[in-house]
């Protein structure tokens, strides 16, 4: 009897998975059809159709020019991301443990998160000059706050018994962070990293689109200005693909850390 | 002194201290006046520029675009969210899309939109809606998920029609999460529209700032920046206070 119901549940699960795969395929086809429709409807002045873009992209990937620009974006982005992640983590832990400082800082951070930071880009340019450091600074302006806020929120919602245990064991602040706070907050930290990743990428790209001579953002705007539609469509495709792939990866990692934490301590779920 | 008040006072003191520090640094020449102008000058420039009336058209343009994008995003987002909530099959497709939507920098579509729709209001509205609507969708979904089943049973027992169920049961129960979507939609629409104007456009406040930057008119640039940021902070602040009031009414009612 129980065997039968188990089998039943399993077959239901596989059929549900099949339906899902089918729906996802339909969706992918719809997106491609829409892309093709816009491409042929506008006769390729705004968007080049999928197949043409793909062919162009393969050609582009073989040019050194593309990798030059991609390397410029990647370098600025990695710097911005790593710095936002580290500084954000440290700030979040400090603000989370020191409640008063956290209460003072949280609305300021939230306010900064919601303002249109693009308008501040000229200031960044005036301070750092045109070039790599301005892009990195702008990426950090976007990526730092979400990392800080997620870490802060995670530390605050920790069961107090963990922090008390650390006190009882007389762990130093550094060790408390290393052995108690960071592991317990890991799922939220991964979430913060995910947001920080996409926002610092956004910051770097906006910087390049507004004023820069290198990078994928520049390549995109330049392609548009020179009416090289396949170029700009190909660049957009690359950025979207990379962004979605990275995000999916981090969602998976986040889910795994959450499950692992739950298997150690069911109350954390 | 109660704790919340102490927190508020310290927060104001920190912000005021930063502004004063900036003022001193600029006045004493530690910061080059060609880089950052003193805050007092920023305020004066903002009053000059906004008060002169030259920018009235840009201001009206920008804010009407933002409001249009905001309203459309709320409409589309709520409708789509409600629709997806009804069908678990749509939900299975939509969830992963929504989860990775904001990882894609929406701005990279803006040059394509400009080529597609011309250099007017339309690409800005579309950009605003593209950045704001998914947030409304996500919060609509989580709001509808959060309606306790017992309330829906109650509606059925009372034989409420769909419209009344929506108005008396679903809406109040989902309100806090819907409000989160509203707040996000406002700031995303604002960011989307102003950033679009800033990068590539011929009108609006974003364009005015970028124009001032390119013509080395630092004073005007800082004045306009301050204006945009103040409007953004005030608009978000109003929603924040309103939300707090609603939450208090819920907890007492």
Q: What pLDDT is recorded for position B253?
A: 53
- Rounded to the nearest 10 degrees, the angle between the axes of helix B121-145 and helix B88-101 is 120
Q: What pLDDT is recorded for position A230?
A: 87
Q: Is the pLDDT of residue B160 over 90?
A: no
Judgement on whether residues A16 and A57 belong to the same structural domain of the protein: no
Q: What pLDDT is recorded for position A269?
A: 44
By C-alpha distance, the chain B residue nearest A38 is: B116
What's the gap in Å between the CA of B158 and the closest CA on chain A? 35
Q: What pLDDT is recorded for position A5?
A: 65
| Span between the terminal Cα atoms of chain B, in Å | 28
Number of domains in chain B: 1
Q: How confident is the model at residue A3 (pLDDT cuts 50, 70, 90)?
A: low
Residue bearing the bigger pLDDT, B38 or B251: B38
Burial of A187 (0-12, 13-18, 19+ CB in 10 A): buried
Flag if B99 and A19 touch (Cβ within 8 Å): no
Q: What pLDDT is recorded for position B170?
A: 86
> For the residues B118-145, what does the mean pLDDT come to?
90
d(CA B201, CA B120): 7
Q: Is residue B14 part of a domain?
A: no
Q: What pLDDT is recorded for position B69?
A: 95
Q: Which CATH number do you get for residue B178?
A: 1.10.3720.10
Q: Is residue B146 part of a domain?
A: yes
Tell me: the pLDDT tens digits for A78-114? Answer: 999 999 999 999 999 889 888 888 888 888 888 888 8
Q: Is the pLDDT of residue B91 over 60?
A: yes
Judgement on whether residues A14 and A78 belong to the same structural domain of the protein: no
Q: Is residue B82 part of a domain?
A: yes
Number of domains in chain A: 2
Q: Is the pLDDT of residue A223 over 50?
A: yes
Judgement on whether residues A59 and A24 belong to the same structural domain of the protein: no
* Count of other CB atoms within 10 angstroms of residue A263: 10
Chain B neighbors of A202, CB-CB under 8 A: 105, 107
Q: What pLDDT is recorded for position A1?
A: 47
Chain A neighbors of B92, CB-CB under 8 A: 19-20, 23
Alpha helices in A42-169 (DSSP H): 50-61, 64-97, 99-114, 121-128, 132-156, 160-168
By C-alpha distance, the chain B residue nearest A26 is: B93
d(CA A39, CA A41): 6
Place of tokens 């400009």: B114
d(CA B126, CA B123): 5
Q: How confident is the model at residue B66 (pLDDT cuts 50, 70, 90)?
A: very high
What's the gap in Å between the CA of A163 and the closest CA on chain B? 22
Residues contacting A250, CB < 8 A, separation 6+: A190, A193, A194, A197
For chain A, say whether B70 makes contact (Cβ under 8 Å).
Answer: no
Phi, psi of B147 (to 5 degrees): -70, 120
Candidate from A3-17, B181-195, B203-217, B226-240 with smallest mean pLDDT: A3-17
Q: Which CATH number do you get for residue A163?
A: 1.10.3720.10
> For the residues B217-242, what does the mean pLDDT come to?
88
Q: Is the pLDDT of residue B126 over 90?
A: yes
Q: Is the pLDDT of residue B190 over 70?
A: yes
Q: What pLDDT is recorded for position A197?
A: 92
Burial of B82 (0-12, 13-18, 19+ CB in 10 A): middle
By C-alpha distance, the chain A residue nearest B225 is: A119
Judgement on whether residues A24 and A99 belong to the same structural domain of the protein: no
The whole domain housing B181 covers: 40-252
Average pLDDT, chain A: 86
> For the residues A211-218, what does the mean pLDDT come to?
84
Chain A neighbors of B218, CB-CB under 8 A: 126
The whole domain housing A36 covers: 1-41
d(CA A220, CA B119): 17
Judgement on whether residues A10 and A104 belong to the same structural domain of the protein: no
Q: Is the pLDDT of residue B129 over 90?
A: yes
Q: What pLDDT is recorded for position A47?
A: 82
CB nearest to B108's CB, from A194, A205, A247? A205
Q: Is the pLDDT of residue B163 over 60?
A: yes
Which of A77, A116, A215, A236 has the highest number of chain B CBs within 10 A, making it the mutation to test binding with B?
Answer: A116
Q: Is residue B24 part of a domain?
A: no
> For the residues A43-59, what does the mean pLDDT come to?
84
Chain B neighbors of A125, CB-CB under 8 A: 213
Q: Is residue B33 part of a domain?
A: no
Tally A–B CB contacts below 8 A: 152
Chain A neighbors of B225, CB-CB under 8 A: 119-120, 122-123
d(CA A232, CA B244): 45
Does the model's pTM come out above 0.90? Answer: no
Q: Is the pLDDT of residue A211 over 80?
A: no
Flag if A236 and B114 touch (Cβ within 8 Å): no
Q: How far is CA A11 from the centre of its chain?
A: 36
Of the segments A132-146, B44-58, B166-180, which one has the largest average pLDDT value? A132-146
d(CA B177, CA A164): 33
Which of A69, A119, A242 has the highest number of chain B CBs within 10 A, making it the mutation to test binding with B?
Answer: A119
Q: Is the pLDDT of residue A125 over 80?
A: yes
């Amino acid at each position: 009897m129980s065997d039968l119901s188990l089998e039943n549940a399993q077959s239901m699960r596989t059929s549900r998975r099949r339906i899902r795969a089918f729906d996802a395929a339909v969706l992918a086809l719809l997106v491609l059809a829409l892309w093709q429709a816009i491409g042929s409807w506008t006769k390729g002045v705004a968007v080049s159709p999928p197949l043409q873009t793909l062919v162009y992209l393969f050609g582009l990937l073989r040019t050194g020019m593309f990798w030059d620009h991609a390397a410029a974006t990647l370098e600025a982005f990695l710097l911005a991301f790593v710095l936002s992640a580290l500084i954000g983590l440290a700030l979040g832990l400090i603000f989370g443990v020191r409640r008063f400082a956290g209460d003072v800082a949280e609305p300021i951070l939230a306010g900064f998160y919601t303002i249109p930071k693009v308008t501040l880009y000229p200031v960044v340019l005036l301070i750092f000059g045109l070039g790599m450091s301005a892009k990195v600074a702008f990426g950090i302006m976007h990526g730092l706050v979400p990392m800080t806020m997620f870490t802060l929120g995670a530390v605050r919602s920790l069961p107090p018994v963990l922090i008390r245990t650390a006190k009882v064991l007389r762990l130093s602040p550094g060790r408390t962070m290393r052995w108690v706070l960071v592991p317990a907050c890991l799922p939220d930290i991964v979430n913060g990293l995910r947001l920080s990743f996409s926002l610092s990428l956004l910051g770097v790209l906006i910087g390049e689109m507004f004023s820069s001579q290198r990078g994928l953002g520049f390549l995109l705007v330049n392609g548009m200005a020179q009416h090289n539609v396949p170029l700009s469509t190909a660049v957009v495709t690359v950025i979207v693909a990379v962004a979605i792939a990275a995000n999916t990866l981090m969602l998976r990692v986040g889910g795994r850390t959450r499950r692992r934490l739950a298997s150690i301590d069911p109350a954390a779920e | 002194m109660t704790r919340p008040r102490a927190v508020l006072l310290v927060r104001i003191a920190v912000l005021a201290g930063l502004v004063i520090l900036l003022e001193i640094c600029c006045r004493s020449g530690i910061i080059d006046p060609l880089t950052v102008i003193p805050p007092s000058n920023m305020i004066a420039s903002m009053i000059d520029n906004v008060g002169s009336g030259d920018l009235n058209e840009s201001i009206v343009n920008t804010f009407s675009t933002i409001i249009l994008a905001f309203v459309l995003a709320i409409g589309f987002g709520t409708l789509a969210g409600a629709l997806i909530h009804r069908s678990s099959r749509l939900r299975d497709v939509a969830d992963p899309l929504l989860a990775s939507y904001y990882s894609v920098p929406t701005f990279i579509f803006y040059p394509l939109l400009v080529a597609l729709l011309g250099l007017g209001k339309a690409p800005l509205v579309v950009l605003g809606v593209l950045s704001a609507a998914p947030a409304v969708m996500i919060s609509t979904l989580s709001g509808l998920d959060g309606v306790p089943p017992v309330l829906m049973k109650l509606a059925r027992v009372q034989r409420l029609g769909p419209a009344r169920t929506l108005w008396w049961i679903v809406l109040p129960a989902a309100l806090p999460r819907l409000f989160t979507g509203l707040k996000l939609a406002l700031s995303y629409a604002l960011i989307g529209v102003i950033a679009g104007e800033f990068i590539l456009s011929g009108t609006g406040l974003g364009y005015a700032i970028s124009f001032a930057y390119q013509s080395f008119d630092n004073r005007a640039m800082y004045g306009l920046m301050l204006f945009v940021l103040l409007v953004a902070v005030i608009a978000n602040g109003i929603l924040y206070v309103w939300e707090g009031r609603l939450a208090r009414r819920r907890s007492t009612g």
